[in-house]
Structure 1
Amino acid sequence: MRSAGDLMLAYTATIADPDATAALFTEDGVIELPYVTSIGLPPRVAGPDEIRAFIVGLLKVVPDFGFDTVEVLIDTPDQAFGEYSVERRTVTGRVFSQMYAGRLVAEHGKIKLLRESLDLVRAARAMLPNGVADIPADQ
């Protein structure tokens, strides 16, 4: 059975393959990205089908999305915490450069929860037509 750290490494290694990534999650597994509604993304996707669709959408914006560096900082059998980075071009030619922090909770060898944080200003600059100016004032 895969540990939480093994699952984090598998997630980061397969992110460009929506089917393989979605298969890592439990039937009720969740990816949470708090605050990303300000850049037009759902803050929570649940279940393999929604996770697959979310990754397909990400790949439409950043076609060669993949993590460049991955470091698992805390690894227990059922929880892991790590940092992983990406630097790729979006379909508009802008650079999407991020350092993610992720907390993963494993259950029976699959991902039950992956909560990630990222720099929304950097994401807005890369993904929104007018960059940071498109973030609503109340966000």
Structure 2
Amino acid sequence: MTRGAGASESVGFENVTLPSEPGEYEHGIFTEDDGQTATIVVGDPADGPTFTVSDLSAPAEAEPGAAIDVNATVTNDGDANGTQVVEFVFNDSVVASQNVTLGAGASESVGFENVTLPSEPGEYEHG
């Protein structure tokens, strides 16, 4: 585009495809010498993915040093697809994790297998 000194022209771009995932994105128009950016929110962030955990299946008792299996159902109660990290926490420490991707309204059973318990007897919180 060539313009004389001091000249200006309005430019526009039509039918630009936005990302499919909800979120906040920076965009802009640039020349060789300058540019200007703005932020756009795609979808309502409140309508994004919302993961909940239910139906925890974990042993109430086990031998010290034993390996246990823990399962739960993870549900995306939100209005958009999403991926979140699901963690197995034992005594305030993350001992295993995995990424779970779910469509809006979808559920999946998530399991952590052969998690080794401490060798010291005691009462521990886990989930």
Q: Which TM-score tier does this pair reach, normalised by the shorter chain?
A: under 0.3
Larger relative contact order (Cα-Cα within 8 Å, sequence gap ≥ 6) = 1
TM-score (norm 1): 0.24
> Who wins on radius of gyration, i.e. which is larger?
2
TM-score (norm 2): 0.26
* Higher helix content, 1 or 2: 1
